[in-house]
Amino acid sequence: MGDNSKRMANPEDLEHLAKLLDGRGKLQDRLDEAFTRASRLGVRDKLSPLTPMTSWTRETATDLRRRSAILRAEKGDPLAAALFAGFKLEELKGVNLPPDVMLIANASVANPEAFDTAWLERQKGETLQDWIQRIQADAVAKVTNNENLGEVVGDYIELTAMVSTVPGAFQMTATGTLHLIQYFKSLKSPRNIKWLKAPGTTLAQILRGEGSSLIPARIRALGAQIGARTPAPILDALAGKNSLAAYSGKVYAWEANLLKVGRAASGMSRATGASRLSAFASGAGSAFRTAGWWRAAGIGGSAVSTVIGAVDVIQEGDPVDAFKRDKAGYVAKVSGVAFNASLTAAMVAPTPLTIGAAAVTGAVYGVSSIIANKEKIREFPGKVADAGRWAGKKVGEGAGKLADGAKSAGKFIGGLFD
Protein backbone atom coordinates (compact mmCIF):
# COMPACT_ATOMS: atom_id res chain seq x y z
CA MET A 1 0.00 0.00 0.00
CA GLY A 2 1.70 3.24 -1.13
CA ASP A 3 1.63 6.58 0.68
CA ASN A 4 -1.17 8.03 -1.48
CA SER A 5 -3.42 4.97 -1.16
CA LYS A 6 -2.70 4.83 2.55
CA ARG A 7 -3.94 8.40 3.02
CA MET A 8 -7.05 7.75 0.93
CA ALA A 9 -8.05 4.74 3.05
CA ASN A 10 -10.75 4.89 5.70
CA PRO A 11 -9.49 4.01 9.22
CA GLU A 12 -12.80 2.36 10.13
CA ASP A 13 -12.59 0.11 7.05
CA LEU A 14 -9.10 -1.06 8.01
CA GLU A 15 -10.25 -1.75 11.57
CA HIS A 16 -13.24 -3.70 10.25
CA LEU A 17 -10.93 -5.84 8.11
CA ALA A 18 -8.72 -6.46 11.15
CA LYS A 19 -11.77 -7.52 13.16
CA LEU A 20 -12.75 -9.98 10.44
CA LEU A 21 -9.36 -11.60 10.89
CA ASP A 22 -8.96 -11.77 14.67
CA GLY A 23 -12.36 -10.73 16.04
CA ARG A 24 -14.40 -13.06 18.20
CA GLY A 25 -15.74 -15.91 16.09
CA LYS A 26 -13.87 -14.77 13.00
CA LEU A 27 -10.98 -16.28 11.00
CA GLN A 28 -8.48 -16.62 13.86
CA ASP A 29 -11.00 -18.31 16.15
CA ARG A 30 -12.13 -20.64 13.37
CA LEU A 31 -8.56 -21.65 12.61
CA ASP A 32 -7.91 -22.35 16.29
CA GLU A 33 -11.11 -24.39 16.49
CA ALA A 34 -10.16 -26.38 13.39
CA PHE A 35 -6.70 -27.20 14.79
CA THR A 36 -8.21 -28.18 18.14
CA ARG A 37 -10.70 -30.56 16.52
CA ALA A 38 -7.99 -32.02 14.29
CA SER A 39 -5.80 -32.68 17.34
CA ARG A 40 -8.66 -34.50 19.08
CA LEU A 41 -9.20 -36.66 16.01
CA GLY A 42 -5.48 -37.31 15.64
CA VAL A 43 -5.26 -35.72 12.17
CA ARG A 44 -3.46 -32.48 13.11
CA ASP A 45 -0.75 -33.23 10.54
CA LYS A 46 -3.35 -33.03 7.77
CA LEU A 47 -3.80 -29.32 8.49
CA SER A 48 -0.07 -28.51 8.58
CA PRO A 49 -0.28 -26.51 5.30
CA LEU A 50 -2.63 -24.11 7.12
CA THR A 51 -0.26 -23.50 10.05
CA PRO A 52 1.32 -20.34 8.56
CA MET A 53 -2.16 -18.79 8.35
CA THR A 54 -2.36 -18.42 12.14
CA SER A 55 0.67 -16.11 12.35
CA TRP A 56 -0.36 -14.36 9.11
CA THR A 57 -3.78 -13.61 10.57
CA ARG A 58 -2.37 -12.07 13.74
CA GLU A 59 0.33 -10.08 11.97
CA THR A 60 -2.00 -8.79 9.25
CA ALA A 61 -4.64 -7.71 11.77
CA THR A 62 -1.99 -5.88 13.79
CA ASP A 63 -0.62 -4.21 10.67
CA LEU A 64 -4.08 -3.07 9.57
CA ARG A 65 -4.79 -1.54 12.98
CA ARG A 66 -1.46 0.29 12.95
CA ARG A 67 -2.13 1.69 9.49
CA SER A 68 -5.54 2.78 10.71
CA ALA A 69 -3.95 4.45 13.75
CA ILE A 70 -1.53 6.37 11.50
CA LEU A 71 -4.47 7.69 9.50
CA ARG A 72 -6.27 8.66 12.70
CA ALA A 73 -3.15 10.47 13.97
CA GLU A 74 -2.93 12.45 10.73
CA LYS A 75 -6.54 13.55 11.32
CA GLY A 76 -5.83 14.54 14.94
CA ASP A 77 -7.64 11.65 16.64
CA PRO A 78 -6.47 11.63 20.32
CA LEU A 79 -6.86 7.83 20.47
CA ALA A 80 -4.43 7.21 17.62
CA ALA A 81 -1.34 6.38 19.70
CA ALA A 82 -3.24 3.98 21.97
CA LEU A 83 -4.69 2.21 18.92
CA PHE A 84 -1.23 2.06 17.33
CA ALA A 85 0.09 0.49 20.53
CA GLY A 86 -2.33 -2.40 20.11
CA PHE A 87 -5.35 -1.46 22.21
CA LYS A 88 -8.83 -1.74 20.73
CA LEU A 89 -11.52 0.93 20.59
CA GLU A 90 -13.73 -0.87 23.10
CA GLU A 91 -10.86 -0.82 25.63
CA LEU A 92 -10.52 2.96 25.32
CA LYS A 93 -14.13 3.92 26.00
CA GLY A 94 -14.38 6.33 28.92
CA VAL A 95 -10.60 6.37 29.50
CA ASN A 96 -8.95 9.72 30.26
CA LEU A 97 -5.73 9.84 28.25
CA PRO A 98 -3.24 12.56 29.31
CA PRO A 99 -3.51 15.14 26.47
CA ASP A 100 0.04 16.51 26.76
CA VAL A 101 1.63 13.07 26.49
CA MET A 102 -0.76 11.91 23.78
CA LEU A 103 0.22 14.96 21.73
CA ILE A 104 3.83 13.75 21.67
CA ALA A 105 2.77 10.14 21.12
CA ASN A 106 0.43 11.01 18.25
CA ALA A 107 3.14 13.12 16.60
CA SER A 108 5.33 10.01 16.53
CA VAL A 109 2.52 7.93 15.04
CA ALA A 110 1.66 10.52 12.41
CA ASN A 111 5.28 10.53 11.18
CA PRO A 112 6.52 6.94 11.63
CA GLU A 113 9.27 7.48 9.05
CA ALA A 114 10.76 10.42 10.98
CA PHE A 115 10.14 9.34 14.58
CA ASP A 116 10.79 6.15 16.52
CA THR A 117 7.50 4.46 17.42
CA ALA A 118 8.89 1.40 19.23
CA TRP A 119 8.40 3.12 22.62
CA LEU A 120 4.65 3.23 22.01
CA GLU A 121 4.16 -0.47 21.33
CA ARG A 122 2.26 -2.39 23.98
CA GLN A 123 4.53 -4.76 25.89
CA LYS A 124 3.58 -8.31 26.80
CA GLY A 125 1.04 -8.35 29.59
CA GLU A 126 0.89 -4.54 29.71
CA THR A 127 -2.48 -3.14 30.69
CA LEU A 128 -3.88 0.16 29.49
CA GLN A 129 -3.14 1.85 32.83
CA ASP A 130 0.41 0.47 32.81
CA TRP A 131 0.89 1.72 29.25
CA ILE A 132 -0.39 5.22 30.05
CA GLN A 133 1.96 5.45 33.02
CA ARG A 134 4.94 4.15 31.04
CA ILE A 135 4.57 6.46 28.05
CA GLN A 136 4.27 9.48 30.34
CA ALA A 137 7.77 8.69 31.57
CA ASP A 138 9.03 7.74 28.11
CA ALA A 139 7.69 10.97 26.62
CA VAL A 140 9.73 13.01 29.10
CA ALA A 141 12.80 10.94 28.24
CA LYS A 142 12.21 11.52 24.52
CA VAL A 143 11.75 15.28 24.86
CA THR A 144 14.72 15.83 27.21
CA ASN A 145 16.91 13.05 25.80
CA ASN A 146 17.49 12.01 29.41
CA GLU A 147 16.33 8.50 30.37
CA ASN A 148 16.92 9.11 34.08
CA LEU A 149 14.56 12.07 34.07
CA GLY A 150 11.92 9.90 32.41
CA GLU A 151 12.38 7.27 35.11
CA VAL A 152 12.01 9.93 37.79
CA VAL A 153 8.66 10.99 36.31
CA GLY A 154 7.47 7.38 35.99
CA ASP A 155 8.52 6.48 39.52
CA TYR A 156 6.96 9.66 40.88
CA ILE A 157 3.61 8.84 39.27
CA GLU A 158 3.64 5.29 40.64
CA LEU A 159 4.85 6.24 44.12
CA THR A 160 2.33 9.08 44.34
CA ALA A 161 -0.45 6.64 43.48
CA MET A 162 0.82 4.27 46.16
CA VAL A 163 1.06 6.99 48.80
CA SER A 164 -2.49 8.12 48.01
CA THR A 165 -4.02 4.65 48.48
CA VAL A 166 -1.85 2.49 50.76
CA PRO A 167 -2.23 4.62 53.94
CA GLY A 168 -6.01 4.45 53.52
CA ALA A 169 -5.82 0.67 53.19
CA PHE A 170 -3.75 0.37 56.38
CA GLN A 171 -6.12 2.76 58.15
CA MET A 172 -9.07 0.58 57.15
CA THR A 173 -7.22 -2.45 58.48
CA ALA A 174 -6.49 -0.77 61.82
CA THR A 175 -9.89 0.84 62.40
CA GLY A 176 -11.81 -2.13 61.02
CA THR A 177 -9.98 -4.55 63.32
CA LEU A 178 -10.51 -2.27 66.32
CA HIS A 179 -14.23 -1.88 65.63
CA LEU A 180 -14.64 -5.63 65.20
CA ILE A 181 -12.98 -6.24 68.57
CA GLN A 182 -15.23 -3.64 70.22
CA TYR A 183 -18.31 -5.07 68.53
CA PHE A 184 -17.72 -8.68 69.60
CA LYS A 185 -16.87 -7.59 73.15
CA SER A 186 -20.08 -5.55 73.35
CA LEU A 187 -22.19 -8.58 72.41
CA LYS A 188 -21.78 -9.74 76.02
CA SER A 189 -24.09 -6.89 77.08
CA PRO A 190 -26.89 -6.68 74.44
CA ARG A 191 -28.15 -3.35 75.78
CA ASN A 192 -24.87 -1.61 74.93
CA ILE A 193 -23.88 -3.15 71.61
CA LYS A 194 -21.37 -1.03 69.68
CA TRP A 195 -22.70 -1.41 66.17
CA LEU A 196 -20.27 -1.38 63.29
CA LYS A 197 -20.03 1.85 61.30
CA ALA A 198 -19.74 2.23 57.53
CA PRO A 199 -16.27 3.35 56.39
CA GLY A 200 -16.13 6.93 55.13
CA THR A 201 -18.75 8.26 57.56
CA THR A 202 -16.38 9.79 60.14
CA LEU A 203 -17.29 13.39 59.22
CA ALA A 204 -20.99 12.60 59.46
CA GLN A 205 -20.46 11.17 62.94
CA ILE A 206 -18.50 14.22 64.10
CA LEU A 207 -21.14 16.66 62.86
CA ARG A 208 -23.79 14.64 64.71
CA GLY A 209 -21.76 14.81 67.91
CA GLU A 210 -21.05 11.06 67.83
CA GLY A 211 -17.41 11.01 66.73
CA SER A 212 -15.06 8.26 67.87
CA SER A 213 -13.02 8.78 71.03
CA LEU A 214 -9.93 8.23 68.87
CA ILE A 215 -10.54 11.68 67.39
CA PRO A 216 -9.18 14.61 69.48
CA ALA A 217 -11.86 16.08 71.76
CA ARG A 218 -11.32 19.61 70.43
CA ILE A 219 -12.08 18.48 66.85
CA ARG A 220 -15.14 16.54 68.00
CA ALA A 221 -16.46 19.56 69.93
CA LEU A 222 -15.90 21.92 66.99
CA GLY A 223 -17.57 19.49 64.58
CA ALA A 224 -20.57 19.09 66.87
CA GLN A 225 -20.96 22.89 67.05
CA ILE A 226 -20.88 23.18 63.26
CA GLY A 227 -23.40 20.35 62.96
CA ALA A 228 -25.73 21.94 65.50
CA ARG A 229 -25.74 25.18 63.50
CA THR A 230 -26.33 23.45 60.16
CA PRO A 231 -30.01 23.34 59.04
CA ALA A 232 -31.41 19.85 59.58
CA PRO A 233 -32.41 19.26 55.92
CA ILE A 234 -28.89 20.08 54.73
CA LEU A 235 -27.27 17.93 57.41
CA ASP A 236 -29.60 15.04 56.56
CA ALA A 237 -28.78 15.38 52.86
CA LEU A 238 -25.02 15.32 53.49
CA ALA A 239 -24.66 12.98 56.47
CA GLY A 240 -27.71 10.74 56.05
CA LYS A 241 -31.14 10.72 57.67
CA ASN A 242 -31.05 8.91 61.02
CA SER A 243 -34.81 8.29 61.18
CA LEU A 244 -34.62 6.01 58.13
CA ALA A 245 -31.98 3.84 59.80
CA ALA A 246 -34.83 2.23 61.78
CA TYR A 247 -35.67 0.24 58.64
CA SER A 248 -32.56 -1.84 59.35
CA GLY A 249 -32.96 -1.84 63.14
CA LYS A 250 -30.32 0.83 63.81
CA VAL A 251 -30.37 4.30 65.37
CA TYR A 252 -27.82 6.14 63.26
CA ALA A 253 -27.55 6.35 59.48
CA TRP A 254 -23.88 5.31 59.44
CA GLU A 255 -24.79 2.02 61.15
CA ALA A 256 -27.57 1.18 58.73
CA ASN A 257 -27.43 -1.61 56.18
CA LEU A 258 -28.60 0.20 53.05
CA LEU A 259 -29.77 -3.03 51.43
CA LYS A 260 -32.09 -3.71 54.37
CA VAL A 261 -33.32 -0.12 54.34
CA GLY A 262 -34.12 -0.30 50.64
CA ARG A 263 -35.79 -3.70 50.94
CA ALA A 264 -37.95 -2.64 53.92
CA ALA A 265 -39.01 0.65 52.31
CA SER A 266 -39.82 -1.15 49.07
CA GLY A 267 -41.87 -3.77 50.94
CA MET A 268 -43.91 -1.11 52.73
CA SER A 269 -44.54 0.66 49.45
CA ARG A 270 -45.75 -2.58 47.86
CA ALA A 271 -48.01 -3.21 50.84
CA THR A 272 -49.81 0.06 50.14
CA GLY A 273 -50.53 -1.02 46.55
CA ALA A 274 -47.63 0.59 44.70
CA SER A 275 -46.33 -0.97 41.49
CA ARG A 276 -43.03 -2.84 41.38
CA LEU A 277 -41.30 0.10 39.71
CA SER A 278 -42.67 2.60 42.22
CA ALA A 279 -41.72 0.32 45.10
CA PHE A 280 -38.19 -0.06 43.75
CA ALA A 281 -37.86 3.72 43.37
CA SER A 282 -39.11 4.19 46.93
CA GLY A 283 -36.61 1.67 48.27
CA ALA A 284 -33.70 3.14 46.32
CA GLY A 285 -34.63 6.65 47.41
CA SER A 286 -34.83 5.64 51.07
CA ALA A 287 -31.45 3.92 50.87
CA PHE A 288 -29.89 7.01 49.26
CA ARG A 289 -31.37 9.38 51.87
CA THR A 290 -30.10 7.10 54.62
CA ALA A 291 -26.63 7.07 53.15
CA GLY A 292 -26.39 10.80 52.58
CA TRP A 293 -24.38 12.43 49.84
CA TRP A 294 -20.94 11.81 51.40
CA ARG A 295 -21.46 8.09 51.93
CA ALA A 296 -23.13 7.64 48.54
CA ALA A 297 -20.23 9.41 46.81
CA GLY A 298 -17.78 7.15 48.63
CA ILE A 299 -19.68 4.06 47.51
CA GLY A 300 -19.71 5.27 43.92
CA GLY A 301 -16.01 6.10 43.90
CA SER A 302 -15.03 2.79 45.43
CA ALA A 303 -17.23 0.88 42.98
CA VAL A 304 -15.64 2.67 40.03
CA SER A 305 -12.17 1.87 41.38
CA THR A 306 -13.19 -1.78 41.64
CA VAL A 307 -14.29 -1.89 38.00
CA ILE A 308 -11.15 -0.09 36.75
CA GLY A 309 -8.93 -2.41 38.77
CA ALA A 310 -10.78 -5.50 37.54
CA VAL A 311 -10.37 -4.44 33.91
CA ASP A 312 -6.67 -3.85 34.57
CA VAL A 313 -6.28 -7.37 36.00
CA ILE A 314 -8.18 -8.92 33.07
CA GLN A 315 -5.89 -7.12 30.62
CA GLU A 316 -2.90 -8.79 32.28
CA GLY A 317 -3.98 -11.97 30.49
CA ASP A 318 -3.44 -15.47 31.84
CA PRO A 319 -3.17 -15.22 35.67
CA VAL A 320 -0.36 -17.78 35.87
CA ASP A 321 1.75 -15.93 33.30
CA ALA A 322 0.95 -12.58 34.88
CA PHE A 323 2.02 -13.84 38.31
CA LYS A 324 5.27 -15.19 36.90
CA ARG A 325 6.07 -11.84 35.25
CA ASP A 326 5.65 -9.81 38.43
CA LYS A 327 4.62 -11.69 41.56
CA ALA A 328 4.32 -8.79 44.01
CA GLY A 329 2.89 -6.44 41.38
CA TYR A 330 0.19 -8.89 40.33
CA VAL A 331 -0.74 -9.66 43.94
CA ALA A 332 -0.97 -5.90 44.58
CA LYS A 333 -3.34 -5.46 41.62
CA VAL A 334 -5.57 -8.40 42.53
CA SER A 335 -5.67 -7.50 46.23
CA GLY A 336 -6.39 -3.89 45.24
CA VAL A 337 -9.50 -5.04 43.38
CA ALA A 338 -10.52 -7.22 46.34
CA PHE A 339 -9.95 -4.35 48.77
CA ASN A 340 -12.04 -1.87 46.77
CA ALA A 341 -14.80 -4.46 46.30
CA SER A 342 -14.92 -5.32 50.01
CA LEU A 343 -14.71 -1.62 50.94
CA THR A 344 -17.70 -0.92 48.69
CA ALA A 345 -19.62 -3.74 50.36
CA ALA A 346 -18.68 -2.45 53.83
CA MET A 347 -19.89 1.06 52.97
CA VAL A 348 -23.20 -0.34 51.74
CA ALA A 349 -23.68 -2.89 54.54
CA PRO A 350 -21.35 -2.61 57.56
CA THR A 351 -21.39 -6.19 58.90
CA PRO A 352 -18.66 -8.28 60.58
CA LEU A 353 -18.12 -10.10 57.27
CA THR A 354 -17.73 -7.00 55.08
CA ILE A 355 -15.67 -5.03 57.62
CA GLY A 356 -13.46 -8.06 58.23
CA ALA A 357 -12.94 -8.60 54.51
CA ALA A 358 -11.99 -4.95 54.01
CA ALA A 359 -9.53 -5.11 56.90
CA VAL A 360 -7.82 -8.27 55.62
CA THR A 361 -7.66 -7.25 51.95
CA GLY A 362 -6.48 -3.77 52.97
CA ALA A 363 -3.51 -5.29 54.80
CA VAL A 364 -2.63 -7.58 51.88
CA TYR A 365 -2.94 -4.74 49.39
CA GLY A 366 -0.82 -2.35 51.47
CA VAL A 367 2.00 -4.82 52.12
CA SER A 368 2.12 -6.15 48.55
CA SER A 369 2.15 -2.60 47.13
CA ILE A 370 5.15 -1.68 49.26
CA ILE A 371 6.99 -4.87 48.29
CA ALA A 372 6.21 -4.30 44.59
CA ASN A 373 7.67 -0.78 44.79
CA LYS A 374 10.57 -1.35 47.20
CA GLU A 375 13.19 -0.95 44.45
CA LYS A 376 11.64 2.32 43.29
CA ILE A 377 11.42 3.58 46.88
CA ARG A 378 15.11 2.81 47.50
CA GLU A 379 16.40 4.22 44.21
CA PHE A 380 14.12 7.25 43.88
CA PRO A 381 16.21 9.73 45.96
CA GLY A 382 19.34 8.96 43.91
CA LYS A 383 17.47 9.37 40.62
CA VAL A 384 16.05 12.70 41.77
CA ALA A 385 19.55 13.89 42.74
CA ASP A 386 20.88 12.93 39.29
CA ALA A 387 17.97 14.71 37.63
CA GLY A 388 18.68 17.80 39.75
CA ARG A 389 22.32 17.86 38.66
CA TRP A 390 21.25 17.47 35.02
CA ALA A 391 18.75 20.33 35.38
CA GLY A 392 21.37 22.53 37.05
CA LYS A 393 23.78 21.87 34.21
CA LYS A 394 21.15 22.75 31.60
CA VAL A 395 20.25 25.94 33.45
CA GLY A 396 23.95 26.85 33.56
CA GLU A 397 24.31 26.21 29.84
CA GLY A 398 21.23 28.31 29.16
CA ALA A 399 22.54 31.19 31.29
CA GLY A 400 25.87 31.07 29.43
CA LYS A 401 24.13 31.22 26.08
CA LEU A 402 21.96 34.10 27.30
CA ALA A 403 25.02 36.03 28.46
CA ASP A 404 26.79 35.43 25.14
CA GLY A 405 23.69 36.61 23.33
CA ALA A 406 23.53 39.76 25.45
CA LYS A 407 27.19 40.53 24.72
CA SER A 408 26.61 40.11 20.99
CA ALA A 409 23.55 42.33 21.13
CA GLY A 410 25.51 44.96 23.07
CA LYS A 411 28.29 44.99 20.51
CA PHE A 412 25.77 45.32 17.68
CA ILE A 413 23.95 48.21 19.36
CA GLY A 414 27.26 49.90 20.25
CA GLY A 415 28.37 49.65 16.60
CA LEU A 416 25.27 51.58 15.53
CA PHE A 417 26.45 54.63 17.44
CA ASP A 418 30.13 54.51 16.42
Instruction: Place 8 in a pLDDT band, splitting at 50, 70 and 90.
Output: low
Confidence of residue 379 (pLDDT cuts 50, 70, 90): confident
Closest CA to 349 of 250, 257, 248, 260: 257
Mean pLDDT across the stretch 241-252?
91
Residue 80's SS3 state is helix
pLDDT digits (tens, 9 = 90+) for 134-192: 888 887 777 677 777 777 777 777 778 788 888 999 999 999 999 999 899 888 887 78
Residue 269's H or E segment, with its range, is helix 258-271
At a CB cut-off of 8 Å and minimum separation 6, what does 86 contact? 62, 65, 121, 122
- Prediction pTM value: 0.73
CA dihedral defined by 381, 387, 393, 398, rounded to 10 degrees? -140
CB-CB neighbours of 248 under 10 Å:
20
Q: 31 vs 323, which has greater pLDDT?
A: 323
Across the range 287-298, mean pLDDT stands at: 93
Predicted local distance difference test score (pLDDT) of residue 4: 47
Contact between 28 and 57 (Cβ < 8 Å):
yes
Q: Are 116 and 101 in contact (CB under 8 A)?
A: no
Could you tell me the CA-to-CA distances from 238 to 67, 105, 230 in Å, in that order?
Answer: 51, 43, 11
Mean pLDDT of the chain: 82
In one-letter notation, the amino acid at residue 356 is: G
CB 362 within 8 A of CB 169: yes
What pLDDT shows up at residue 114?
59
* pLDDT band, residue 412 (cuts 50/70/90): very low
Handedness of CA 170, 174, 177, 183 (dihedral sign): negative
Higher pLDDT, 64 or 281: 281
Residue type, 273: G
Rg (CA), the chain: 29
Read off the pLDDT of each residue in 254-276 and give the average, rounded to a whole number: 91
Could you tell me if 261 and 290 are in contact, meaning their C-beta atoms sit under 8 angstroms apart?
Answer: yes
pLDDT for position 259? 94
Which range among 43-47, 57-61, 295-299 shows the weakest confidence by mean pLDDT? 43-47
Q: What is the pLDDT of residue 416?
A: 47
Residues with Cβ < 8 Å from 95, sequence gap 6 or more? 128
Span 213-230, mean pLDDT? 88
- pLDDT of 418 > 60? The answer is no
Nearest to 351 by CA among 180, 237, 145, 232: 180
CB contact burial 269-289 (16+ within 10 A = b; e otherwise): bbeeeeeeeebbebbeebbbb
pLDDT number for residue 407: 54
Q: What is the Cα–Cα distance from 198 to 205, expressed in whole angstroms? A: 10
Confidence of residue 198 (pLDDT cuts 50, 70, 90): very high
d(CA 278, CA 275): 5
In this prediction, residue 5 carries a pLDDT of: 43
Contact 148, 390 (CB under 8 A): yes
Any residues with CB less than 8 A from the CB of 104 and at least 6 apart, and which? 139, 142, 143
3-state percent breakdown (helix, strand, coil) of the chain, nearest 5: 80, 0, 20
Q: Can you give the pLDDT at residue 1?
A: 44
**What pLDDT does 113 receive?**
65
At residue 414, the pLDDT reads: 54
